[in-house]
Chains A and B, each alone.
Chain A
Amino acid sequence: MQNNFILQVENITKKFGNLVAVNNVSLNVVQGEIVGLIGPNGAGKTTLFNVISGLFPPERGRVIFKGKDVTRVVPHVICKMGMSRTFQVTRAFASMSVEDAIRVGAYNRHTNKETLEIVNEVIQFCDLGKLRRRKCADLGLAALRRVELARALATEPDLLLLDEAGAGLNPSELGNLMDILKEVNREKGITLFVVEHVMQMVMGLCQRIFVLDAGELIATGAPEEISQNPRVIEAYLGKRAIR
């Protein structure tokens, strides 16, 4: 890897029938940074994540992870290579306890015995100690989001995709989550790629932001630049807002 990019997305196009959900999008993520992906509803953010993580094959373009083409590689292999993700609509393992769900992730790199250690470590890191024996089906949204983060961390990824990890959380839960994420990035050296609606979180967390609108990448830059970019304001608030 001569260029330090952990992830390169090249000209990705993904269609659903006639609808072009992602249109010729190219972007790079540098090893070690926290980058954001924002855009109005239906812009194609989740779809792009699905393509990157291997759930949807794209019509056109390439996804390169750690210098290797993973465009048509299945998700569990991509996970072994060091990428995991969370989901916008939480997808907990309803019939499992919190610790068992995290253990599923831990098996990605560890044998039966070692997983216990990993699970304990991750549970402590994500502050899930009180909930560890609870069933995932019985948890509230904030806890579920933390469990999803925890089980993804247990796979020991180098790149973590978070799809609206802050959605539906109250301000204190949000602050909590941001602290954990900063620690994930700083202490574990995990690169974070986050889709986010909550502006407070994007602005506070990300070093760089990509903006997607109607499937197309319309802007890239630091948070301050993005918040003043006329095209971005237009996409979010409509044409008249610029004047």
Chain B
Amino acid sequence: MKNLRIVSLLFLILLVLILPFFFRSNQYGMILLTTILLYGVLATAWNIIGGMAGQLDLAAGAYLGLGAFTTGTLLLRFNLTPWIGIFVGGLVAVLFAILVGLPLFRFKVKEVWYALSSSALVEVLRIAFIMWEKIGGPVERYLPNYGSALYMRFSSYIPYYYIMVILLFASLFVNYWISRSKLGYYLIALGDDEDAAEVLGVNVRSSKLKALVIYAFIVGLTGGVYACIYGFIHPNFFSSPLSTEVAILGIVGGMGITYGPLVGAVLLVSMRELLRANLGGQLESLYLVIYSVVLILIVLFRPRGITTLLQDTFNKLFSRWVRNNHAE
């Protein structure tokens, strides 16, 4: 069983690595793949605060936007390469997360209240950056150095795809590592019952803050790359729909399962994009209706996420396979 897992994991890694070769001449395909991975990274990072710690965070867009603006502004003003800028962006997102997390967790803001406050942050930042003419403002600020690898401004999607692959594996690894450490056990425990966790020695406040900070760093980092992919920065990067979608992917994929959100992202984002590509023209936003219906069906029939469905199916097939092979 363990060997089989490792083999299928290696196969998956290989597949992800060679995928672009099938899409070399297909620009749309590469955009789709990169978008899927982008959401995969964000949802995987969300799993730390949302899936493990059970905090319904709706602020991915806030950290993404901060990462994007930091990276973009550093490039525009100081000609600092995004290869460094994205890490500064991650740190700025962390700083903001601490600023927000300290009071929220201090005053035990949780459940719907946490969801609402985190969601409000995104909109507050968006408006603040529209009004802050020096850095943001209502028009796009285009990034220079198009076509320069040194400035992470590639003219093809393939390098961005591989950057997303690296980010994805990094955030999967961080997830996996946390889930096997003290912090992971503490997060799942406090997600289930904060008081019960406290009396067992769990520092609920600082554990939540750690989760938020790690999540914010990964999202901020990704935000920097996001700016380079788009080639501009704009306050609409502080996007509420994106924030909500990240949480939805995490929930539908399966909360607290390391690769659950990734599965959610792969299935749902590709479905959404394909629906949009095929229906968008004739029946505007019909794809959104279908997308929502699918979401509702999943939540109704698989409240623990589609990943558990895949797991169950896999286990069933595997045990049948074992039985057949040991029958004689």
- A75-B195, A93-B196 as given contacts; A155 in contact with B201, CB under 8 Å: yes
- A55-B195, A91-B195 as given contacts; A76 in contact with B201, CB under 8 Å: yes
- A96-B188, A104-B186 as given contacts; A53 in contact with B193, CB under 8 Å: no
Q: Is the CB of B192 within 8 A of A96?
A: yes
Q: Is the CB of A95 within 8 A of B199?
A: no
Compute how far the CA of A101 lies from the CA of B199 in the bound complex, rounded to whole angstroms.
Answer: 13
Compute how far the CA of A188 lies from the CA of B180 in the bound complex, rounded to whole angstroms.
Answer: 29
Question: Nearest residue in B to A105 (C-beta to C-beta)?
Answer: B200
Which of the candidate stretches A3-11, A77-85, A216-224 sits at the interface with the other chain? A77-85
Picked from B181, B195, B202, B256, the residue with its CB within 8 Å of the CB of A104 is B202
A214 to chain B, nearest CB (A): 25
Contacts of B180 in A (CB 8 A): 112
Question: Nearest residue in A to B304 (C-beta to C-beta)?
Answer: A95
Kindly state the interface size class of chain A when it binds its partner: 20 to 34
Q: Is the interface of B mostly helix, strand, loop or mixed?
A: helix
A150 to chain B, nearest CB (A): 11
B208 to chain A, nearest CB (A): 13
Contacts of A78 in B (CB 8 A): 199
Q: Is the CB of B198 within 8 A of A105?
A: no
Contacts of B186 in A (CB 8 A): 104, 107
Which residue, of B186, B201, B256, has the highest number of chain A Cβ atoms within 10 A? B201
Interface size of B by CB at 8 A reads 21
Q: Is the CB of B199 within 8 A of A100?
A: no
Q: Is the CB of A53 within 8 A of B192?
A: no
Compute how far the CA of A69 lies from the CA of B199 in the bound complex, rounded to whole angstroms.
Answer: 17
A242 within 8 A of B: no
A22 to chain B, nearest CB (A): 18
B320 within 8 A of A: no
Q: Is the CB of B189 within 8 A of A79?
A: no
Q: Is the CB of A55 within 8 A of B188?
A: no
Question: Nearest residue in A to B182 (C-beta to C-beta)?
Answer: A107
Q: Is the CB of B202 within 8 A of A76?
A: yes
Compute how far the CA of A53 lies from the CA of B202 in the bound complex, rounded to whole angstroms.
Answer: 13
A141 within 8 A of B: no
B108 to chain A, nearest CB (A): 12
Q: Is the CB of B200 within 8 A of A95?
A: no
Compute how far the CA of A39 lies from the CA of B191 in the bound complex, rounded to whole angstroms.
Answer: 33
Q: Is the CB of B199 within 8 A of A84?
A: yes
B281 to chain A, nearest CB (A): 43
Q: Is the CB of A87 within 8 A of B198?
A: no
Q: Is the CB of A107 within 8 A of B201?
A: yes
B219 within 8 A of A: no
21 A-B residue pairs with Cβ-Cβ distance under 8 Å, sorted by A, are A53-B199, A74-B198, A74-B203, A76-B198, A76-B201, A79-B198, A79-B201, A84-B201, A85-B199, A91-B195, A92-B193, A93-B192, A95-B191, A104-B185, A104-B189, A104-B197, A104-B200, A107-B201, A108-B200, A151-B200, A152-B199
Give A residues with C-beta under 8 Å from B.
53-55, 74-76, 78-80, 84-85, 87, 91-96, 100-101, 103-105, 107-108, 111-112, 151-152, 154-155
Apart from A95-B192, A104-B200, A107-B185: 15 A-B pairs, beta carbons within 8 A: A54-B198, A76-B199, A76-B200, A79-B199, A79-B200, A84-B199, A85-B199, A94-B193, A100-B188, A103-B185, A107-B201, A108-B200, A111-B182, A112-B182, A155-B201
Q: 3 shortest A-B CB distances, which residue pairs?
A: A108-B201, A79-B201, A75-B198
